[in-house]
Amino acid sequence: MPKARILVKESRLQLIIERLCHQLIEEFGDFENVCLVGIQPRGVLFSDRLLLRLQHILPERQLTYGKLDITFYRDDFRTRTKPLTASTTEIDFLMEDKQVLLIDDVLYTGRTIQAALSALQHYGRPDKVHLVSLIDRRFNRHLPISADFIGYTVDSVDEAYVKVEWKELDGKDRILLYPVKT
C-alpha cells in the first residue's frame, strides 16, 4: 500500500464535527421534524459522532436516528469479485413528511448516495433529504449529487483514495489521502 498523507488529524477532525453540528442546529433548530440516517458501514461511524455531539449540545431534545444498509441497492452489487457483506438497517420510524439528514463519510462518485436514496423509499416519503458529508471529493462525481453540509473538501486526481479512519475501527481518528487507489 502506498504511503498516505495525513490531511486531517484528530483535533481538527473534532473541530470539523463540532462545526457541522452547529451548522445543523442553525438550519434545523430543535430538530422537531428531523431524523438523522447514517449510511452503513462507515457513514454510521460519522453519524454516531454527530449524534453524540448534538445530544450533548441539545440535551433536552430526543433526536430520531437510524442506520441504513444499502448493500442490495448498489449498482455494482453483482459485478464485485467477492460477495458484499450486508450490514443491518436499524430504522424504527417512518420518514413520511420529515426532513432527513442522510449522513456519509465520503462523497465521491455519488453512487452510494443514489443507492441510499433508493433504500430510503421503503421508510416513507420524506419532505426533503439533506446530505451531510464529512468529505466531499467534488471533482470526481459520476452523478449530479452534491452535499448540503460538508466537513472538508478534497480536490485530487481520480486515482487518489481518501480514507477516514475512526478510533473504533482503525485505532485513530484522522483523514488520509493515498496517492493511488488501493
Q: What SS3 state is found at 122?
A: helix
For the chain, how big is the Rg over CA atoms in Å?
16
Domain ranges for the chain, please list them: 5-25+32-71+87-178
Q: What SS3 state is found at 39?
A: strand
pLDDT in tens, the chain (182 residues): 678 999 999 999 999 999 999 999 999 999 999 999 999 999 999 999 999 999 999 999 999 999 999 998 877 655 557 777 888 999 999 999 999 999 999 999 999 999 999 999 999 999 999 999 999 998 888 899 999 999 999 987 777 889 999 999 999 999 999 987 54
pLDDT of residue 77: 57
Q: Which fold does the domain 5-25+32-71+87-178 belong to in CATH?
A: Rossmann fold (3.40.50)
- Find how far residue 171's CA is from the centre of its chain: 19
Enumerate residues 6+ apart whose C-beta is below 8 A from 165: 171, 172, 173, 174, 175, 176
Q: Name the pTM for this structure.
A: 0.93
